[in-house]
Structure 1
């Protein structure tokens, strides 16, 4: 009897579990993957991954009761139904579709396992149903491909890209070295950025893609050379980690697989083609070479191999040789070249003959737009001889990076919280004379966030506040509200002494950019405290600014 009761109980548990799973599956088919249930999509910010198949959305959690590390996140969405329809229209087999989705799944699994500041942080792992795949990561700005002008799979180019980009014509007078321009592509973009050398401004070509379109539109970001340097340095440091600690060869380094976070950091994604360094060096039979056609072809809607424009020659040959870390260095060199020379080194439309001809007969003129201090290292990175290529760590010591004082300043800011007050004080005094050399994007994404984080340090406030307020002058109200206001309001509530005097001197700036709610809750109480302060300078300043505050409060 006891055995029979146990059997009934076991059967009931199995039935209950089956029913629960069936109900969950039915709900998911209606509501979509878990990420789409838990997060509200705000707007599309870009696209990423192989073939730019992923749509990237800014999103916020639906349930505010759950603690979240980020106020907003990035939800990655892949429309399986649309991809399947595009695959059928392109005449590809179902096997290609299955292989592509497996590639996406492998990438998502790697992203969850890899924990490093240079790898995109996954907040919620990949989930899928028959219609879509979705996962959640830290907030992102866009992929580097989007920054270079390729906004494929972006229905509406986001406002942030439009505001800092520029569209220039629909033709380009120069094409990539040894390659023909693609007449099928329109919306060609060229742009220049300002780099500072000493006190003289120079125009340096950075970015732009000769093969980038989306619905007839081209977009490019005014990305300064120092920002590109900082991004390349971050990627090189992560690559050093992947090769020497994680023991991974990425094998697909390209603009589509490098992401720019909302705070301006450059990070790796796109690990679908990755393999272990042990397998790559020990058993070449398991590291299959990629097979590209010997004629021009359009990019596949479901690419099952990395972009030929960024793939190392040893991975292109019909029989794989040593597909090790040096393969990533070659791809990294192609990425660096594209970012700095404003065009890809290879633009071969998946034509392996054109690729090999370009590589074999690469003229010195190809490096004419590359800074002199980078040419030697870049030529080594792009060598067909794997043994000549430097390591990722070697690249971080390149004069191109090492001799740039602005880059060294950004690196110090990256680790500002780790320094003692004496080191911070010396650095901030030097930075006060240097900050004008940075372009607006660097100030917004690279300089301001660490300075704002340091405002909690009362000792450093008198040194940091002037720079934060100077940068705030160039911000619009929305940018000020999102970035500066959340850290400045607590300072207003507790300001005293020199910090209070400085804030009062800049009161008009703060009043013009602050909401009426914050004026009443933070600025007005500071004014009241200032009236009672024993410092006559503070009393005089608050009397001068009171009329302006009263006028703004009356208007609002």
Structure 2
């Protein structure tokens, strides 16, 4: 927790100057009793009326996101009945989402609260909606889209089979991208629950005809609604698969939809005509491996569309990067042997993943393993490999908080050896205050480990290369005395020689008087007379 406190303190000035936007947006809402927010980060839902704030729980400082709908934003709807219909659908959507529990659905941490002026609920930390992302991100990497579509398909599998629900409005506004980049399904405002039947294995759903007099925000969007639902009120899981096909097209087309989002009763008929004329050549923005399947999802005959499970099994999704992300999400189900084998192979996969994906998706999964000391030697090399491509700011924000506890691990000794091998990288990326408090003790521990010859030699070999990164007091008062003590007390000639070589390389970083007072008087105390030791002593005397 110390590292989190230090990072929080480093931005305290910025936070202190920020108006509590949540309190301003939520006067009187019960959510403000337990949660605070720092800034507006995104929007979601029909009309993007849900505003998303980053924040934390007051009692634990746990990071969260707060979804806020200010009722004054509904004033643009002239009829009171429309405003009430909107509020009813929003209440229903959050209530439904709160009941559901699945890794592919947005996690609600505090149920909907309502005041005179607003609705609000609290979720897991998120970045923004997929629509926000499509509008602002220069590029969404193919692996992010591939895995995002798989995640949505798995969400649909769950709600169709276990939840016995139809979502009815799968669109970029209702897909939430969480803090680690995962796509989470939300927006259950128009979800249909199965009607009771004699056969629980064969659920059925009943849909009502759309009321086209209502604002577009009060009903499922026409551009993602399956034709059989719009024209015949036939409600089946295939409706949601059609919407998923529309979403896939839009994602690859920079957010632009295939069909027009219109608000008149003739829109379904016009969309049906366009779908009848649809061919693969019109799906030029969709990758070749997915194009035929998107066309199948958009088929006007619901029985020809693949279901959610079938869609996840197509060859387009079977590449190693997507499988890697899927493995990372399911690692908690594996035993240590299976995990260790996966982590040994991960260094070959990491170069194929975009750096943003490594930071936001891979690092959080790896960090969870740090509590299992048996796994640390397998996980740590992967974390440090990702660190190589990180800026100092990225390392401090995404990697260092989870790495700090690892720096304090004493066993197994492999952890110490790995850290010593990458000490130059750690010193280059770690802010100075953490170097003193957390990184330098690792070097001290290596030098003090008299029974760990390899750790001592790695430390002595690394020290000259990182000496310029170590402040003078730490060098004078902590490292130099340890090197001198190791040189005198070690039973290993190679360690003693390495101490002398290290000292010789450090001389340029030491004050002249420090050398006269501590280094030169120390050399005659060395009683060993091996040739290599004598050469090391003579080399230092040349100063």
Q: CA deviation at 1:439?
A: 1.0
The 3 A distance-change label for structure 1 pair 29 and 551 is closer
Q: Which residue of 2 aligns with 1:73?
A: 64
Q: CA deviation at 1:29?
A: 12
Is 1:346 aligned to 2:236, yes or no? no
In structure 2, distance between residues paired with 1:245 and 1:376: 29
Aligned residues: 440
The 3 A distance-change label for structure 1 pair 390 and 549 is same
Cα deviations by residue, 1:268-295 (Å, 9 ceiling, x for unpaired): 11001001133799887x52132559xx
Q: CA deviation at 1:141?
A: 1.0
The 3 A distance-change label for structure 1 pair 314 and 488 is same
Is 1:503 aligned to 2:419, yes or no? yes
Runs ≥4 residues deviating over 6 A = 27-30, 279-284, 552-555
DSSP 3-state at the match of 1:464 = helix
Is 1:386 aligned to 2:302, yes or no? yes
DSSP 3-state at the match of 1:455 = helix
Cα deviations by residue, 1:70-93 (Å, 9 ceiling, x for unpaired): x21000111112322x22xxxx31
DSSP 3-state at the match of 2:110 = strand
In structure 2, distance between residues paired with 1:221 and 1:112: 33
Q: CA deviation at 1:540?
A: 1.7
Q: Which residue of 1 aligns with 2:236?
A: 324
In structure 2, distance between residues paired with 1:129 and 1:432: 51
Superposition RMSD in Å: 2.7
DSSP 3-state at the match of 2:40 = strand
> Quick check: 1:144–1:259 contact (8 Å CA) kept in 2?
yes
In structure 1, distance between residues paired with 2:326 and 2:195: 32
The 3 A distance-change label for structure 1 pair 79 and 97 is same
> Quick check: 1:145–1:256 contact (8 Å CA) kept in 2?
yes
The 3 A distance-change label for structure 1 pair 137 and 221 is farther
The 3 A distance-change label for structure 1 pair 30 and 518 is closer
Q: CA deviation at 1:494?
A: 1.3
Q: Which residue of 2 aligns with 1:314?
A: 228
DSSP 3-state at the match of 1:134 = strand
- Out of 142, 145, 154, the position equivalent to 2:131 is 145
> Quick check: 1:28–1:34 contact (8 Å CA) kept in 2?
no
Q: CA deviation at 1:542?
A: 5.1
User: Residues 66-465 of structure 1 correspond to what in structure 2 (within 5 A)?
Assistant: 67=60, 71-84=62-75, 86-87=76-77, 92-149=78-135, 219-278=136-195, 286-292=206-212, 300=215, 303-317=217-231, 319-320=232-233, 322-342=234-254, 343-350=256-263, 352=267, 353-401=269-317, 403-465=318-380
The 3 A distance-change label for structure 1 pair 282 and 529 is closer
Alignment gaps of 5+ in structure 2: 1-22, 476-543
Q: Which residue of 1 aligns with 2:515?
A: none
> Quick check: 2:67–2:120 contact (8 Å CA) kept in 1?
yes
Q: Which residue of 2 aligns with 1:36?
A: 32
> Quick check: 2:343–2:382 contact (8 Å CA) kept in 1?
no
Moved more, 347-356 or 247-256: 347-356
Q: CA deviation at 1:395?
A: 0.9
**Between Structure 1 and Structure 2, which shows a larger proportion of helix residues?**
2
In structure 1, distance between residues paired with 2:463 and 2:25: 64
Moved more, 409-418 or 471-480: 471-480
Q: CA deviation at 1:546?
A: 6.0
Moved more, 307-316 or 265-274: 307-316
In structure 2, distance between residues paired with 1:255 and 1:552: 55
> Quick check: 2:296–2:305 contact (8 Å CA) kept in 1?
yes
DSSP 3-state at the match of 2:88 = helix
Q: CA deviation at 1:544?
A: 2.8
In structure 1, distance between residues paired with 2:344 and 2:24: 56
Q: Which residue of 1 aligns with 2:460?
A: 540
Is 1:50 aligned to 2:36, yes or no? no
DSSP 3-state at the match of 1:303 = helix
In structure 2, distance between residues paired with 1:330 and 1:279: 25
In structure 1, distance between residues paired with 2:85 and 2:352: 49
In structure 2, distance between residues paired with 1:498 and 1:307: 56
Cα deviations by residue, 1:32-82 (Å, 9 ceiling, x for unpaired): 2111332221111110011111000001123x3xx47xx210001111123
DSSP 3-state at the match of 1:278 = coil
Q: CA deviation at 1:392?
A: 0.7
In structure 1, distance between residues paired with 2:343 and 2:31: 42
Cα deviations by residue, 1:240-264 (Å, 9 ceiling, x for unpaired): 0100111000001111111111022
Moved more, 118-127 or 375-384: 375-384
In structure 1, distance between residues paired with 2:473 and 2:273: 69
The 3 A distance-change label for structure 1 pair 237 and 282 is closer
Alignment gaps of 5+ in structure 1: 1-26, 150-218, 294-298
In structure 2, distance between residues paired with 1:269 and 1:249: 12
DSSP 3-state at the match of 2:169 = coil
DSSP 3-state at the match of 2:358 = helix
Q: Which residue of 1 aligns with 2:487?
A: none
In structure 2, distance between residues paired with 1:458 and 1:391: 42
